[in-house]
Amino acid sequence: MDLPGLGLLRDVFAGPVWLAVWVAWLMLVNTASFLFLRRREGRWVAAAWVANVVLMSGLHAVTGYSRLLGLSHVLLWTPLLAVLWHRRHEWWRAGGVYGIWLRTVFVTDAVSLLIDYVDVVRWLGGDRG
């Protein structure tokens, strides 16, 4: 029996190299949130990231490796990015590593979210790949 999420990672890293690199980048950027738990936005990103790992692992266990996995990001990152966008005046120009990280996570997760919306719509349209 695999640890939760291990099968998902195995599927991702068995696919195209570009996808494995993208997922590794997502994991790195979002996991870095644990370096910023003293900041409100750091806690929000960390909470969304942990919830995403749990939800996506559960979806993978039920549906396998499919476009529906994007639903995890749609459900969790849409509100996260909406809140971050609403509060951007407080952090967008923040200096140092924190500011760079938060801008990076916002842009990275927004790009991923666009891909995920397309994947979920395609899954709903019958593309179960």
pLDDT in tens, 43-89: 999 999 999 999 999 999 998 999 999 999 999 999 999 999 999 88
Q: Report H helices in 32-95.
A: 40-63, 70-86, 88-91
| pLDDT at residue 68, rounded to an integer | 93
Give the tokens for residue 79.
């509100």
| pLDDT at residue 2, rounded to an integer | 56
pLDDT tens-digit profile of 14-39?
889 999 999 999 999 999 999 999 99
Q: How confident is the model at residue 4 (pLDDT cuts 50, 70, 90)?
A: low
| pLDDT at residue 45, rounded to an integer | 98
| CA–CA dist 94, 104 (Å, integer) | 12
pTM exceeding 0.85: yes
Neighbours of 54 (CB within 10 A): 14
| pLDDT at residue 128, rounded to an integer | 76
Give the tokens for residue 66.
């499919």
Q: How distant, in Å, are the alpha carbons of 47, 88, 91 from that of 40? A: 11, 12, 11
